[in-house]
Structure 1
């Protein structure tokens, strides 16, 4: 039949999946190709290799058959396939990520593209990264089909690697897969050949991509997966792996997690998690050790540990567990630990009455009993700062005596909390500052809680002694390795705040960056919220309005709660709106901040600069009377308390809010006060304001002298916006100030450089926005900042300022914009 068909025209015989066909039938077709009378027949056999492709190779040696092994797609090949399927250009990041995920296997490439389109996710590096942790249905199905076409040993090897994760050691993986090491390695080589695995350094292996791992795990039966996790935990434990590498496997295998060795390991890892500030993770670990409804039969110390962890993320559960074991705990030390966490949780949830009852029930007849009571009261004061209603109730019912000698760590903890509250309220300031000094003189990081020492230092910072506070913060940060991460974030925030008050902008930015880490704005803790506020102020001090706006944009409105730290954030955001020439929005934010500050009784003008920026916002909105009221109140309070920075800045605001009469004298007084304070940026700002007033009054010579000092000081501090303002005023005064040596392209941020180079190459704002995946408004803001920093009037001067850009697509001419 084949011969008859081939007489009239060439004939194609195609057999897909020939490896699954009847071998004798295939051999019969192959015999048609043996040497002899030539037939115009092409036989195409699709053969999926498993272990060794013996049959096709053997046939190729006996006939005219040729073995063709298709290679994986290259980068350009992936680009061509994606362009054909999606009809869009391919980003370099996606091309690289696609190759990593698929190994260039065409069926996987097309499956990945189709799967991303279904979710839907963009065909970009970011889109592929977003898909890594979840299921991409079409891609996952093709991965599983490809995997199950391999040998059973290869399937078990892939499942073992999916459970163990990246960097699986050959011996560990083979043990989990229950195969010999040589067979395991051979199977991995096969998986590598089909694009599902890759060799890592030092005899370790990984699946090709997180999406591949997810597909393999999804395709593994639930019971098998649970068993694999349990055996993986034991294997890793026996090999001496860190507890953190084992805990996740135990959570996925509840039966194994209940074994004594596993429970001990989970408790150890939970303690480590609490030190890192990862309370939610600690709760997950400990709940696997305490089955619901079986708390009464569990070790009370274990239940206490669970309650302490829960008190930070699920206060009601924590209160319940701590209450249930309080009387069953062995020894006073453990009972004090549980009681401290319980009092804190009750206070944070507004139940100060019950917390006070627990304190009143304590035995104070012995020195140790009195010490416990003092420590618990200090804990309650600290916890109350997270709940305004609890804070208000507590201040009405507890004593804030400041005459304790501070000879014990417990006394110092109580003194520090009381001093911080008193200074924030602007009450009994001499006694409060004396108490804070006693705490810091007698306490050390080895004997006292870092929270107590930081609270005492914060009291000094809020009394216009930021340099003294900064010294304490640095000691705590550099010498206390065991400080939990959530407390470390608070210390870094306070350190950044002290640096910002001193005009050390770069240090403030470094400290706040460390405090925030990679935490998104929607999930910042209260400690990090203060860092967020300080960072906004520092960015605005530096003149980087674009970066400040981007940072504020990460915080959704529903993230702002009633904590006092969010009041500071509103003050900083109000200042940002003022810098963006939006006085209405600035007044709204700062008015809300003022309301909150009053509710929290933070009436000391040195505790927060919100009133200063509120005054300037009212001036910009055309309401000098309200600005004058704020300034007068701050002057009175700061003068009576002898707070030089608050007094100097209040006088500067008062001069701006008042008429011309007396303005110069008020500004001169403000400058004199600030010159002795150490607040370098506030001093430079006041000098520029005084120079402006002198210039307006026609005193050109004195104006130049004052402005030049402000110009020099602001440049030394890195306060670019203030420096530029002083520069413009000097020019108006007829001076020709030199350009600062550091000004230039090196002063631009990375994003500003990218935008500037594309603009210099002739790209339009819209083209730049599309190339960098940002909005057109962001491009405009970056260009405005570039022009200011480089002293340019517009786009036409960019090319010479940056140097001629390299050739290529970026150098193509385009419509020019200003």
Structure 2
């Protein structure tokens, strides 16, 4: 497999592989094999070190340091992100995903000159920030002439789903041969077979255990009574050998284990301070435990961990103190502070302050997990309770930024045991509620957020405003399960009288008015907020801006804002907001009938969430499922979302699932079932969805013969549309009016609806209106006209990939007397989803670099996909591609 991977790289393609196996299974030996066979390529090597696992980007820096000469070829934002992440420059905090995109670009630039092979060993010990970036790059390598190979004991979430090779023990014959090479004397064949069976062919166990046991112990088969895992038993064997070494040698090994980068010069300077000379290395080298050259290398990572287990606490502190002394405080202040922190036997305010400084630098590099670890250790070294509380609160905030939400409650609980001032206590309550909302979007977060907002009113008005917005947003999501929470939160925000003209101020004022004064009074305020969003919008509030845009029937705003947010995310590195921006974009694509592209974006959202650790409110899959099908899968997904909504008290999710259920039953022609779902959904006035579902209610009621219900829905919708007469709103109203109008008036209403809803942003609704018009014509016996409308709807739904609605159109066509054959897909269906997205962006005039940034690909990969697109469509270049694509594609 490794040789085949190198063959791919030789041919200009890329590949990724994860070697997974227990300690001692031979993963490192396979990486050595790969590096030796890759003489045609540039080989990069890095290894996780347990002592460095909390230092942000330490492993990534090992990988990228030889490639930094290519930095100037990257876009400015990516170049700045890497410079800041590696501490080469001071700049804004780089988001982890932007660092990943930058590393991908760096790999592509380097591989353009010479193929690249990168191997990363002991991934289980690399720092979290590096793991995010490398996992991201691994999923995006395609046509860069590069290979990325990991060795890991357990793959973890960040490597899950990548191509994997399980490295198990050797087969029995090879295991016996290897064991024989390690034995120093004769062993009973039955004992030898028992050893092979007990080690399960683990190569390191077969080689090392015979060396650590006496002939008498060996005769009984490696102390077969032990039930310990083989990694532990091998490590125990190393421990016995280490304990038998002279004290100076053990000190030398301990210093090497504590010095994570393998710098031999620094190692010997530290040992000199401890009175240990170079002769101490002899016994360890003779016992094949360590290699000492320009770099220090242990025979196996288990030797390093065994050395640490053999050492007393005082010895560990002494070594850390010596290493701190020889670490340059200017060049490497963070590693020096880390060593000093571990050398401290008790509280040390100076070291705590140094750790806080290191945490600040880690945050500036986007290393939130590292910052949290540094702050937690700083808190341990701080004697003053009030200062400890401040540091713990900062550590909790860093963990939340890192997406490690499970760690936040414990830190907040510890902070509460310290004396906090009123502002700190309010911020603590806010953070606890924010994390609760992030995890479930349920009711429980709303009241605590409101309590925190009230406490912040006089302490920090800006924070109070932001927290009131959070409280109202949480109550919006709780919906029908939140009781009177939404009204209470809105009234409290109004009573606070927090005036201002920022986008957040306008949004808060509009939402408060919507809750307390009603939609008609709030409409001008909410529209003013949306008008300001283009220039002054806050990316952090996209999760609330989208529902407001939908409430106002401003589908154009939602699409425009999402595109702007995506561009600014890449331009400014604000990628923490990218998931919400992509959610908005997916909604716009679905509404416009561009379902293939929407599916690709939804996959991107999952990828971003996996890369950043973010929790994303991924409701768009429901909207996609009830258009694409299959019906049974859509129904299963809806049922799962209803269960999730009930479990978390998430009323918005409940309403959206019921709306999806109504659409599903309408697509299948089950009007009674659709009516029940729509009635339950509209029983509560939900922000952004209530008025849209009135259309489903009217269609279901009309189809079920419940004219009174349909007319009541029509009247409610007319009142809503009067305050926001956008084309989308007027189009939906025209549909409902047509469903309830006399035959003499319905035809023009249907035509108006088709015209209004066939514009950008409401393409699916436009074709649904055409389908209803064709059904109406069929019922009147105007079959030729009916077939023309139904045929057009069927073709449009098929092209969109809206298979459930295409099925309903096909059934109506049969009733109109037409035989429906298999649909002929258009040229886009011949492309993969990624190829279709690249073709779309190419026609829109984007460069390869811009397309790569939008789809998280390197420019070389984009070019490779474009060549495939050209071949499939029979065109030669971008100009011909643009001419070949339909106007709708652009």
Normalising by the smaller structure, the TM-score range is 0.5 to 0.7
Are 2:573 and 1:476 aligned? no
In 1, Cα distance between equivalents of 2:534 and 2:295? 56
In 2, Cα distance between equivalents of 1:300 and 1:323? 5
Cα offset, 1:618, TM superposition: 8.1
Cα offset, 1:512, TM superposition: 3.6
User: Which residue is equivalent to 1:562?
Assistant: 649
Are 2:587 and 1:500 aligned? no
Q: 1:652 to 1:612 in 2, by over 3 A?
A: same
In 1, Cα distance between equivalents of 2:687 and 2:487? 12
User: Which residue is equivalent to 1:679?
Assistant: 762
Cα offset, 1:414, TM superposition: 0.8
Cα offset, 1:684, TM superposition: 1.9
User: Which residue is equivalent to 1:286?
Assistant: 375
Are 2:581 and 1:491 aligned? yes
Please list, as runs of the form range in 1=range in 2, the aligned pairs for 1:358-437 lying within 5 A after superposition. 358=455, 361=458, 373=461, 376-387=464-475, 388=482, 390-399=485-494, 406=501, 409=502, 412-420=503-511, 422=513, 426-437=519-530
Q: 1:547 to 1:423 in 2, by over 3 A?
A: farther
Name which of 811, 825, 838 aligns with 1:740: 825
Contact 1:423 1:459 in 2 (8 A): no
User: Which residue is equivalent to 1:466?
Assistant: 555
Secondary structure of the corresponding residue to residue 517 of structure 1? helix
Secondary structure of the corresponding residue to residue 229 of structure 2? helix
Secondary structure of the corresponding residue to residue 698 of structure 1? coil
Secondary structure of the corresponding residue to residue 733 of structure 1? coil
Are 2:786 and 1:703 aligned? yes
Q: Deviations over 1:12-61 (max 9, x none)?
A: xxxxxxxxxxxxxxxxxxxxxxxxxxxxxxxxxxxxxxxxxxxxxxxxxx
Secondary structure of the corresponding residue to residue 528 of structure 1? coil
In 1, Cα distance between equivalents of 2:604 and 2:253? 39
User: Which has the bigger relative contact order, CA under 8 A and spacing at least 6?
Assistant: 2
User: Which residue is equivalent to 2:138?
Assistant: none
User: Which residue is equivalent to 1:636?
Assistant: 718
Cα offset, 1:262, TM superposition: 6.1
Contact 1:574 1:587 in 2 (8 A): no
Contact 1:349 1:390 in 2 (8 A): yes
Contact 1:402 1:431 in 2 (8 A): no
Cα offset, 1:534, TM superposition: 1.2
Cα offset, 1:544, TM superposition: 5.7
Q: Deviations over 1:487-517 (max 9, x none)?
A: 4433332333333333343454344434433
Contact 1:326 1:338 in 2 (8 A): yes
Cα offset, 1:556, TM superposition: 10
Secondary structure of the corresponding residue to residue 386 of structure 1? helix
Cα offset, 1:394, TM superposition: 1.9
Secondary structure of the corresponding residue to residue 399 of structure 1? helix
Secondary structure of the corresponding residue to residue 447 of structure 2? coil
In 1, Cα distance between equivalents of 2:508 and 2:699? 33
In 2, Cα distance between equivalents of 1:226 and 1:591? 68
Cα offset, 1:415, TM superposition: 0.7
User: Which residue is equivalent to 1:535?
Assistant: 621
Q: 1:662 to 1:639 in 2, by over 3 A?
A: same
Cα offset, 1:702, TM superposition: 1.6
Are 2:228 and 1:140 aligned? no
Cα offset, 1:633, TM superposition: 5.7
User: Which residue is equivalent to 2:690?
Assistant: 605
In 2, Cα distance between equivalents of 1:111 and 1:556? 50
CA RMSD of aligned residues (A): 6.3
Cα offset, 1:679, TM superposition: 0.9
In 2, Cα distance between equivalents of 1:373 and 1:316? 26
Cα offset, 1:431, TM superposition: 1.5
Question: Gaps (5+ residues) in structure 1?
Answer: 1-91, 116-134, 328-334, 363-371, 751-818
Number of matched pairs: 592
User: Which residue is equivalent to 2:447?
Assistant: 350
Cα offset, 1:519, TM superposition: 5.6
Secondary structure of the corresponding residue to residue 298 of structure 1? helix
Q: 1:661 to 1:405 in 2, by over 3 A?
A: same
In 1, Cα distance between equivalents of 2:659 and 2:340? 45
In 2, Cα distance between equivalents of 1:221 and 1:617? 75
Cα offset, 1:671, TM superposition: 2.0
Q: 1:213 to 1:682 in 2, by over 3 A?
A: farther
Please list, as runs of the form range in 1=range in 2, the aligned pairs for 1:29-108 lying within 5 A after superposition. 96-98=167-169
In 1, Cα distance between equivalents of 2:711 and 2:286? 76
Contact 1:576 1:586 in 2 (8 A): yes
Please list, as runs of the form range in 1=range in 2, the aligned pairs for 1:157-172 lying within 5 A after superposition. none
Cα offset, 1:476, TM superposition: 2.8
Q: 1:159 to 1:617 in 2, by over 3 A?
A: farther
Contact 2:288 2:299 in 1 (8 A): no
Q: Deviations over 1:386-407 (max 9, x none)?
A: 244653312233439999783x
Please list, as runs of the form range in 1=range in 2, the aligned pairs for 1:184-199 lying within 5 A after superposition. 190=288
Secondary structure of the corresponding residue to residue 566 of structure 1? helix
Structure showing greater radius of gyration is 1
Secondary structure of the corresponding residue to residue 602 of structure 1? coil
Contact 2:777 2:785 in 1 (8 A): yes
Q: Deviations over 1:371-426 (max 9, x none)?
A: x63663243223332244653312233439999783xx4xx321122235556863
Secondary structure of the corresponding residue to residue 739 of structure 1? coil
